[in-house]
Amino acid sequence: MGPAKIIKKIGDYTVASCIGKGRYGVCFLAVAPDGRQVVLKRFRPHMFRKNKNANHYEAVILSGLSHPAVPELLGVINNRQGYYYVLEYKEGPTLEQWLFERKKVFSSEEIYRIGSQIFEVLEYIHSRNVVHGDISVANVTDNGVKIALLDFGLARYADGQNIRFSLDYARAANVLLYLLYSGYEGKGRRPWHEELPLSGEQKEFLKKLMEPEEKFRDTGEVRREFKNLFCGEKTLS
């Protein structure tokens, strides 16, 4: 028999695997004492010290949110092993994994479903005056039915000046472009609005999302306009 596998424990949680690394920290998939899976988000000590005046935002913001697509903050661990957030685990690969590891081509119907759900969760968090600030293919999971929006580390409360909802609109537009390009077979040498077979209205909508100044009355208008323009077979003209 080989050597026994070393089981790492962090507080009361048993670590199963490392599921993500970033500039600010590391995320582990772990098992809670009651058997459910959770995510332990550990902050890199030097980044935690460097951002000591901003570290509280994620916990405060998550504590004020309750939505199926937003991971629940279950607790905090602060011991000799480090400082961790205990977060609800959301099943499904990230869109980044779907695109670049699994080489998935997203259908019109899938883009419509994912986009609709992204704007639905944005409508909710914006109604709480929260700007996510870091929407990307790496921070959206999809299990084939439902998406989840991860990593609120850069989330802040909107102030109408430096922190605006338009930041989330622009980043959501970038995610949509990744999905739309998944089925594109051209050479990718021209701007997206010249290459992708979108209608004029669809192109104008995406361009409006990318404007630094807010071009919509509210996020509900964004969601409704997306659903109207990208519904089913309308996604690609």
Upper half-sphere CA count for residue 152 (Cβ side, 13 Å): 27
The pLDDT assigned to 146 comes to 98
pTM: 0.91
The pLDDT assigned to 237 comes to 42
- How would DSSP label each residue in 15-56? EEEEEEE-SSEEEEEEE-TTS-EEEEEEEPHHHHHHTTTTTH
Upper half-sphere CA count for residue 44 (Cβ side, 13 Å): 12
Upper half-sphere CA count for residue 39 (Cβ side, 13 Å): 18
Whether 116 and 67 have beta carbons less than 8 Å apart is answered as: no
Q: How far apart are the first and last CA of the chain?
A: 62
Reading the chain (237 residues) residue by residue, the pLDDT tens digits are 445 455 699 999 999 999 988 777 899 999 999 999 999 999 877 766 777 676 789 999 999 999 999 999 999 999 888 889 999 999 999 999 999 999 999 999 999 999 999 999 999 999 999 999 999 999 999 999 999 999 999 999 999 899 999 999 999 999 999 999 999 988 878 999 999 999 999 999 999 999 999 999 999 999 999 999 999 654 444
The pLDDT assigned to 188 comes to 79
Whether 58 and 153 have beta carbons less than 8 Å apart is answered as: yes
Amino acid at 196: L
